[in-house]
Amino acid sequence: MLEQIEFTTKSIREKTNNFIPQVGIILGTGLGGLVKEIIVEFALPYNEIPNFPVSTVEGHSGKLIFGELGGKKVIAMQGRFHFYEGYSMQEVTFPVRVMKALGVKTLCVSNASGGMNPKFEVGEIMIINDHINLFPTNPLIGKNIETLGPRFPDMSEAYKKTYVTLAKEIAKENNIKVSEGVYAGLSGPCFETPAEYRYLWRTGADVVGMSTVPEVIVAKHSGMDVFGISIVTDLGVEGVVQNVSHEEVQHIAKMQEPKMTLLMKELIKRI
Ligand code: HPA
């Protein structure tokens, strides 16, 4: 894996005039609009990056974007790889390894989720303050490469507390309603049954989704700080569990995109 990371990093450096990003962004659902805010210097389609996973969706290869946002040098993944698409945990998290090798210190992630917390509404923006890994596996399983990180990485502050506080301040200043809570990550691709939502809520999760946790584990392993936000697109609250569709998830996320974008841009400016 080390050789692949090095080879990919070298290739990217050559194509981006040795661009050194400080912040890495995974543009999940609800954050697509952030691209418009980036002063783009380079954009590399995934299929032109050696060792990058090949997209399963035809015509949607995804891009790595290099530019400036909020006065910081950023690298943004437009399009992420999900475990449910059939990628291995190593493939899902490979871009995070490359980000680290390129110089990234802070990883910012977004996602869509189903909300179990009965106080939450559809469209709720939740600052992630912790997660529960319910994927069937972990990206760090296998021989540990000490130069990438420790065998037993600490996860006591997976989501940096000062970022959570900062994001809440930014939200308040801009009259954006946000809450904070725990994200349970599981494989999908099914949405949850009512019993599963109930189970997740009772075991300490506020929202549930199908991404983010693998990338955050690898970011922590490699010593990065992490900030995450989730957009609650549907509710898995007892008594009000409704039919969920991918279209509905996209629609709700799109509606809240300006607020998510503002929060993320302002946070990056201030870190
Ligand atoms: N469950 C899992 N993932 C999701 C959901 C959900 O209800 N909504 C958006 N992503």
Q: How many angstroms does the Cα of residue 162 sit away from the middle of ligand 1?
A: 27
Which domains can be identified in the chain, with CATH numbers? 2-270 (3.40.50.1580)
Which residue has the CA at smallest separation from atom 3 of ligand 1? 209
pLDDT band at 43 (very low <50, low <70, confident <90, very high): very high
Which residue has the CA at smallest separation from atom 6 of ligand 1? 114
Q: Is 116 in the pocket of ligand 1 (CB under 6 A)?
A: no
Q: What percent of the chain has pLDDT over 90?
A: 86
Please state the atom number of ligand 1 nearest to the C-alpha of residue 115.
7
| Complete DSSP assignment for the chain | -HHHHHHHHHHHHHHTTT---SEEEEE-TT-GGGGGGSEEEEEEEGGGSTTPPPPSSTT---EEEEEEETTEEEEEEES---GGGT--HHHHHHHHHHHHHHT--EEEEEEEEEE-STT--TT-EEEEEEEEE-SSS-TT-SS--TTT--SS---TTSS-HHHHHHHHHHHHHTT--EEEEEEEE---SSPPPHHHHHHHHHTT-SEEESSSHHHHHHHHHTT-EEEEEEEEEEE--TTT-----HHHHHHHHHHHHHHHHHHHHHHHHH-
- pLDDT at residue 253, as a whole number: 84
**240 or 168, higher pLDDT:** 168
- pLDDT at residue 243, as a whole number: 80
Per residue in 134-158, pLDDT tens? 999 999 999 999 999 999 999 999 9
Inform me whether the pLDDT recorded for 41 exceeds 70. yes
Neighbours of 81 (CB within 10 A): 25
Inform me whether the pLDDT recorded for 250 exceeds 90. no
Inform me whether the pLDDT recorded for 184 exceeds 90. yes
- pLDDT at residue 214, as a whole number: 98
Per residue in 44-63, pLDDT tens? 999 999 999 876 655 556 89
Q: Is 98 in the pocket of ligand 1 (CB under 6 A)?
A: no
- pLDDT at residue 246, as a whole number: 86
Q: Is 114 in the pocket of ligand 1 (CB under 6 A)?
A: yes
- pLDDT at residue 57, as a whole number: 59
Q: How many angstroms does the Cα of residue 197 sit away from the middle of ligand 1?
A: 10
Average pLDDT, the chain: 94
Please state the atom number of ligand 1 nearest to the C-alpha of residue 114.
7
Q: Is 241 in the pocket of ligand 1 (CB under 6 A)?
A: no
- pLDDT at residue 85, as a whole number: 92
pTM of the model: 0.95
Inform me whether the pLDDT recorded for 12 exceeds 80. yes
**31 or 55, higher pLDDT:** 31
Per residue in 186-230, pLDDT tens? 999 999 999 999 999 999 999 999 999 999 999 999 999 999 999
pLDDT band at 239 (very low <50, low <70, confident <90, very high): confident
The mean pLDDT value for 27-52 works out to 92
Q: Is 249 in the pocket of ligand 1 (CB under 6 A)?
A: yes
- pLDDT at residue 29, as a whole number: 82
Q: Which of 192, 238, 252, 254 to mutate to test the pocket of ligand 1 (most atoms within 8 A of CB)?
A: 192
